[in-house]
């Protein structure tokens, strides 16, 4: 099957449902059409990854074979491995950008964006002697505080720092004026 993500979604759905899942249910979970699921299920059955049986004349049952369980594990492992490489690439880019602040003598920074790298960014800046004044997010994305640093909506931004570190793009519809220098630390298209 070409689409490994769809293959994983179908194998995972079949594994969790223990034969009590319709093609329509699988299509809904995978976000594809029933015809695509029908084709994929038949292909997976030919590969020996699932077993299709008739428990009821009007309804088919789908069960994962041992080979299908193994394939599901391989697909999950490969996905995690790819994501780890991407995460490491983004983290390296982030650290190199944050190092600029140290070399420029920045003493205080704020951060916008609640991402998987926010806490790491806060800890990195603190370890380099840069005070993190506030964390900003859009709406209810962030918790009330992180490492004792207050989190606020970006609409309440105060220019009490030397630089605002952007870990994600500020939505244009907010039309927020940022009167301090910004450091963009997210991959741009």
- Global model pTM greater than 0.75: no
Q: Which CATH superfamily is domain 84-184 in?
A: NAD(P)-binding Rossmann-like Domain (3.40.50.720)
Q: Of the CATH numbers 3.40.50.2300, 3.10.20.340, 3.40.50.620, 1.10.10.10, which one belongs to the domain with range 4-64?
A: 1.10.10.10
Q: What is the pLDDT of residues 20-44, one digit of tens each?
A: 888 888 888 888 899 999 999 999 9
Residue 189 has pLDDT above 70, yes or no: no
All residues at 6 or more sequence positions from 138 whose CB lies less than 8 Å from its CB, including other chains: 153, 154, 170, 171, 174
Helix (H, G, I), strand (E, B) or coil at 184: strand
């Amino acid at each position: 099957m070409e689409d490994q993500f769809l293959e994983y979604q179908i194998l995972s759905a079949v594994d969790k449902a223990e034969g009590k899942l319709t093609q329509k249910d699988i299509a809904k979970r995978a976000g594809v059409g029933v015809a695509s699921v029908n084709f994929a299920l038949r292909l997976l059955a030919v590969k020996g990854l699932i077993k299709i049986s008739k428990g009821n004349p009007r309804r088919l049952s789908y069960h994962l074979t041992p080979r299908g369980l193994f394939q599901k594990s391989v697909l999950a492992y490969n996905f995690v491995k790819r994501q780890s490489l991407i995460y490491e690439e983004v983290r390296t880019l982030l650290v190199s950008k944050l190092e600029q602040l140290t070399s420029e003598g920045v003493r205080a920074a704020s951060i916008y964006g609640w991402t998987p790298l926010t806490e790491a960014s806060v800890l990195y800046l603190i370890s380099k002697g840069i005070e993190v004044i506030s964390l900003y997010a859009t709406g209810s994305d962030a918790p009330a505080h992180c490492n004792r640093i207050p989190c606020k909506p970006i609409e309440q931004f105060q220019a009490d720092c030397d630089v605002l570190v952007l870990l994600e793009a500020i939505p244009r519809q907010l039309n927020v004026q940022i009167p301090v220098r910004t450091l963009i630390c997210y991959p741009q298209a």
